[in-house]
Structure 1
């Protein structure tokens, strides 16, 4: 039966009531309608309502339509089950090396137990925010300033772990924490800028020296390879020249040996000795003729007039050499 049907029934009933009781009927109608509206509760999606009966926890109304007993039951708390982001206010933290830095962040939480979130703590949003600040100060105090910028993820995990352990009894789950800003004092910023500039200059000098070193190495390596190649070329040239000279000498020797063998063969033939004597006589006369042209003084052997004896002496030398061979 809908609320409109109930109202029509009451209107028909009121028409049958005398006019003296009309005001009372209207009052009763209003009371009944209000009571029915109070008995019906519609819970939105991703929400949870805490219902108390006579001041005590009675149950959690889930998303959808629910009915309660008016004047006995009441909705004490309303919780959203969606993930919620809380802004952590900026605060001053002191690092391990006694440097004051200003830090802020954001934390993401979600209600997982509406009953504990209602009765476990008065204001879980405030409690989570305060616990995040104290935990962040504690974690920053364990690190030097330089490591503070490098260890953001470590700090985030430490804050989440510390709050998550405490928030179990609050019915709240800490999903993640993120540091938004880390602001050192102005003097520290100036010093850090100078340090970074010096570091960049040092790296530039190192890179330049490395480049010059590599260039010198490359140049030396090129010179080395040039000398090696030139020496190898000279060696190959000398080997080729030596091999050529050896081959030439060998060819000359072979030709001389062949000519000697031919001469020896000719001498051993019939009339060979006579030809040799004739050749010796011709060479003797020719050589003495050359000496007479080039020198004013000429020394002759005692038996020069006896040409036959000279030829006989030369032939004896030729024969002795032939016998040795």
Structure 2
């Protein structure tokens, strides 16, 4: 066998292997959640989803393999300038999903790279409209703004933007030092306010206690005066009842036989005792202005004595 025959044999062996490889590659089994973009002679033919798919060797070729699963694309950190001219570094993650494989394959060269660039541009614009103090508070609104803008552009690429999350916002070291001092001052301020509020509450509680104590004392004094007044009233009432009972007994005695004469005699004796009490040691005679009243008294005494003698 000559040299030419050896070369020809090698050529036919290589050709056979190539043809066998092509026929083997013509039979494709697509995994779940994947899609194969098939071109025939350089032109889009079809999209193959999960399952068994035979192709025509040498004519059909799988040009793109895409996944229909949700993907997380890391957006590298970049410099952003806030509204108050502070340079910060921001990075994030964008979550997306291919919903139209044809658009994702033919409407954009690299949809991942395009999404990253669009997200970075939108993020710079969003942070440029906010001051540094508000960037930490407006994370949710910035995420929503980036999702809205990127999803609108990605719709032409057959991509659905699910969400965007800002990972880190890193200000310069000088700004971090200033923020730390500000936070320390705020904590000291809150501590002073808390202590003052505690002192105020303590003073209020003490004043409320003194107030309640004074009220209780006044209520006690009031009740004491009421009790004393009621006791005095009961005493006066008892005296009045006793006096009334005595008067009733005297009146009943007067109505009895000789009662009136006994009253006259008692009045005359009391009258004479009072006159005798005001008599002076000198030779002075004190007579009542109404002599007739003395006669009446004496007549009453004589009458009482006569009745007593007759009895």
Equivalent position to 2:205, from 204, 213, 218: 218
Does residue 166 in structure 1 map to residue 166 in structure 2? no
Q: What runs of 5+ residues in structure 1 fail to find an aligned partner?
A: 1-21, 304-308, 317-325
**Compared with structure 1, are the counterparts of its residues 111 and 314 closer, same or farther at alpha carbon in structure 2 (3 Å cutoff)?**
farther
Does residue 235 in structure 1 map to residue 222 in structure 2? yes
**Compared with structure 1, are the counterparts of its residues 177 and 72 closer, same or farther at alpha carbon in structure 2 (3 Å cutoff)?**
same
- Alignment correspondent of 1:184: 171
**Alignment partners' CA distance in 1, 2:192 and 2:299:** 93
Number of residue pairs the alignment of both structures matches = 288
Deviates more, 1:109-118 or 1:135-144: 109-118
Q: CA RMSD in A?
A: 3.1
Matches within 5 A, 1:143-162: 143-162=130-149
Q: Can you list the C-alpha shifts for 1:185-229, whole angstroms capped at 9, x where unaligned?
A: 111111111111111122222222222222222222222222222
**Compared with structure 1, are the counterparts of its residues 120 and 315 closer, same or farther at alpha carbon in structure 2 (3 Å cutoff)?**
farther
Note the C-alpha offset of 1:33: 3.3
> What secondary structure sits across from 1:49 in the alignment?
strand
Equivalent position to 2:257, from 240, 248, 270: 270
Is the Cα contact below 8 Å between 1:152 and 1:179 reproduced in 2?
Answer: yes
> What secondary structure sits across from 2:69 in the alignment?
coil
**Alignment partners' CA distance in 2, 1:92 and 1:72:** 49
**Compared with structure 1, are the counterparts of its residues 54 and 241 closer, same or farther at alpha carbon in structure 2 (3 Å cutoff)?**
same
**Compared with structure 1, are the counterparts of its residues 74 and 251 closer, same or farther at alpha carbon in structure 2 (3 Å cutoff)?**
same
**Alignment partners' CA distance in 2, 1:196 and 1:54:** 67
Q: With structure 1 as the length reference, what TM-score do the two structures score?
A: 0.78
Q: What runs of 5+ residues in structure 2 fail to find an aligned partner?
A: 1-8, 288-292, 301-311
**Alignment partners' CA distance in 1, 2:123 and 2:87:** 13
Note the C-alpha offset of 1:164: 0.9
**Compared with structure 1, are the counterparts of its residues 288 and 103 closer, same or farther at alpha carbon in structure 2 (3 Å cutoff)?**
same
Deviates more, 1:206-215 or 1:147-156: 206-215
Q: With structure 2 as the length reference, what TM-score do the two structures score?
A: 0.81
> What secondary structure sits across from 2:136 in the alignment?
helix
Deviates more, 1:260-269 or 1:119-128: 260-269
- Alignment correspondent of 2:308: none
